[in-house]
């Protein structure tokens, strides 16, 4: 065989393998891009791993050491922390790992950042009418790179991605009419954070309007919560404390009308002793009024309207309730971005609450330098919330009239 022939065959062999590689890349390009972006997202979080927040030094570190010195799971029997038993069980498990407490605590949150991004993709895949895989992929990436998602766990050491993941899964299964599974997810969210209550009203609305599941499904919430508390209970943690822990949490900050959060009390001010009960009553009244409008106008609950109402109830509740922290609108901030990604509506209010989230996170980190006037931001939110409420509650009425006309 001549040298020219050998070179030709070698060239053909190279092109053959090259084509195999190119075909593989073209076939799996979406997965490859997602993997690359996931690695980048993890690298960003890795850079933040050493920061110790006040919450870590004043609470989490002490709890971790108490568990570690008390023998891990055995120390749950008389644990003094005010987080619920399932998260304390996670901390107890972490004490057995050969890893620095700061890194192990943040690792759990980072893992659930991935779960949260996956749940966001699942939600968008469920509601998108076309290009489902494309929009689900975008939702996954956007969620991973949202500033508050990155800062919450990897920087701050908080665990809001855990309950948020279950909340978004609960909403997704609600939309899919997998009601039992939806309530189980809601119960799991409840087991980790009381802030699950901000999405709870939509389940009552769907129950009253659609009548497709029994009211006894709501019992799955405390039942799931109890199941997730069982490891701690078996270790000696008091059963009653599993249900009283959130009451204790609310009492911890009962003296504050708002804690670094943009809401009604940035405008009203006043003494928490006198105005806290007023805020709770006002919240109940406003939510009851929204529910009355939904029932009175017989608003049709399609997927879009359900997501709109989730956002509306969450923003209303955090706007009027006292003692709200900067992290309490976490689920709604993410849901708002996902909603806009699919429906391209209500961009102003969604952008606003996400900007406020970044501002309050920056304030917590001490990097805002007093640039932002919370009083002014709260005044802006009054008008945006009023307009958003009008749009959500009147659009549904118009849709129903159009449906009747057809």
User: pLDDT tens digits, residue range 322-357?
Assistant: 999 889 999 999 999 999 999 999 999 999 999 999
Output phi, psi for 68, to 5 deg.
-65, -45
Dist CA 276 CA 278 (whole Å): 5
At 405 the pLDDT is 30
Residue predicted with more confidence, 36 or 3: 36
Q: Which of 173, 116, 178, 144 lies closest to 331, judged by CA?
A: 116
At 397 the pLDDT is 52
Q: Which uninterrupted H or E stretch holds 5?
A: helix 3-27
Q: Which of 320, 254, 259, 324 lies closest to 289, judged by CA?
A: 320
C-alpha atoms less than 13 angstroms from C-alpha of 378 in its C-beta half-sphere: 18
Q: Tell me how long the chain is.
A: 406
- Other CB atoms closer than 10 Å to residue 16's CB: what's the count? 9
List b or e across 139-177, with b for residues whose CB sees 16 or more CB atoms inside 10 angstroms. Answer: bbbbbbebebbbbbbbbbbbbbbbbbbbbbbbbbbbbee
Res. 371: pLDDT tops 80: no
At 367 the pLDDT is 67
Residues 90 and 104: beta-carbon distance below 8 Å: no
When pLDDT is cut at 50, 70 and 90, the band that residue 401 belongs to is very low
Q: What angle do CA 263, 265, 270 make, to 5 degrees?
A: 170
At 396 the pLDDT is 52
Q: Which long-range contacts (CB under 8 A, 24 or more apart) does 293-299 make?
A: 293/393, 294/205, 294/209, 294/393, 294/396, 295/208, 295/209, 297/393, 297/396, 297/397, 297/400, 298/400, 299/209, 299/393, 299/396, 299/397, 299/399, 299/400
At 137 the pLDDT is 96
At 51 the pLDDT is 92
At 403 the pLDDT is 35
Weakest mean pLDDT among 7-16, 152-161, 163-172: 7-16
At 338 the pLDDT is 98
At 246 the pLDDT is 85
Res. 307: pLDDT tops 60: yes
Weakest mean pLDDT among 6-20, 92-106, 207-221: 6-20
Residue predicted with more confidence, 76 or 254: 76
At 368 the pLDDT is 63
Q: What angle do CA 70, 194, 222 make, to 5 degrees?
A: 85
List b or e across 219-242, with b for residues whose CB sees 16 or more CB atoms inside 10 angstroms. Answer: ebbeebbbebbebbbebebbeebb
Q: Which of 59, 66, 64, 87 lies closest to 231, judged by CA?
A: 87
Those residues whose C-beta lies under 8 Å from the C-beta of residue 10, and which sit 6 or more positions away, are none
For residue 75 the two structure tokens come to: 């120390």
At 398 the pLDDT is 45
Q: Which uninterrupted H or E stretch holds 404?
A: helix 374-405
When pLDDT is cut at 50, 70 and 90, the band that residue 8 belongs to is low
Weakest mean pLDDT among 230-239, 256-265, 389-398: 389-398
Helix pair angle (101-127, 330-343), 10° resolution: 30
Res. 314: pLDDT tops 80: yes
Residues 326 and 363: beta-carbon distance below 8 Å: yes
Average pLDDT over residues 136-157: 96
Res. 117: pLDDT tops 80: yes
Helix pair angle (241-252, 85-94), 10° resolution: 90
Q: Collapsing DSSP states into helix, strand and coil, what is residue 156?
A: coil
User: Tens of pLDDT along 210-229?
Assistant: 999 999 999 999 999 999 99
Average pLDDT over residues 47-62: 91
Dist CA 61 CA 55 (whole Å): 9
At 402 the pLDDT is 36
* Residue 323 β-bridge partners: none
pLDDT, averaged across the chain: 90
Domain ranges of the chain: 48-237, 254-406
Q: How far is C-alpha 53 from the geometric centre of its chain's CA atoms?
A: 20
Residue predicted with more confidence, 273 or 175: 175
When pLDDT is cut at 50, 70 and 90, the band that residue 10 belongs to is low
């Amino acid at each position: 065989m001549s040298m020219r022939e050998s070179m030709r065959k070698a060239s053909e062999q190279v092109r053959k393998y090259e084509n195999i590689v190119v075909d593989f890349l073209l076939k799996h390009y979406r997965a490859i891009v997602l993997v690359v972006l996931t690695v980048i997202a993890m690298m960003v979080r890795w850079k933040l791993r050493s920061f110790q927040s006040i919450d870590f030094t004043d609470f989490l570190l002490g709890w971790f050491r108490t568990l570690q010195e008390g023998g891990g799971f055995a120390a749950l029997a008389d644990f003094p922390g005010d987080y619920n038993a399932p998260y304390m069980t996670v901390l107890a498990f972490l004490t057995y790992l050969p890893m620095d407490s700061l890194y192990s605590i943040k690792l759990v949150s980072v893992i659930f950042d991935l779960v949260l991004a996956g749940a966001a993709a699942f939600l968008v895949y469920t509601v998108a009418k076309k290009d489902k895989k494309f929009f689900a992929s975008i939702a996954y990436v956007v969620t991973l790179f949202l500033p508050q998602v990155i800062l919450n766990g990897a920087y701050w050491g908080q665990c809001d991605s855990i309950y948020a993941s279950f909340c978004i899964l609960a909403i997704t299964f609600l939309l899919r009419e997998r009601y039992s599974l939806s309530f189980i997810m809601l119960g799991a969210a409840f087991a980790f954070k009381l802030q699950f209550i901000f999405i709870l009203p939509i389940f009552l609305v769907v129950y009253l309007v659609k009548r497709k599941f029994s009211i006894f499904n709501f019992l799955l919430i405390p039942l799931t919560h109890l199941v997730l508390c069982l490891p701690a209970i078996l270790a000696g943690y008091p059963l009653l404390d599993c249900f009283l822990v959130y009451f204790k949490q609310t009492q911890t900050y009962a003296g504050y009308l708002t804690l670094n959060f943009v809401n009604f009390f940035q405008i009203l001010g006043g003494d928490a002793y006198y105005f806290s009960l007023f805020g709770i009553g006002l919240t109940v009244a406003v939510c009851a009024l929204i529910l009355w409008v939904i029932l009175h106008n017989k608003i049709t609950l399609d997927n879009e309207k359900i997501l709109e109402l989730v956002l509306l109830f969450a923003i209303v509740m955090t706007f009027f309730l006292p003692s709200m922290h900067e992290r309490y609108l976490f689920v709604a901030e993410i849901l708002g971005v996902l909603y806009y990604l699919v429906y391209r509506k209500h961009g102003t209010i969604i952008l606003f609450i996400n900007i406020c989230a970044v501002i309050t996170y920056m304030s917590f980190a001490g990097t805002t330098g007093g640039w932002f006037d919370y009083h002014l931001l709260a005044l802006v939110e009054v008008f945006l919330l009023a307009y958003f409420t009008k749009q959500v509650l009147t659009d549904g009425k118009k849709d129903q009239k159009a449906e009747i006309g057809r």
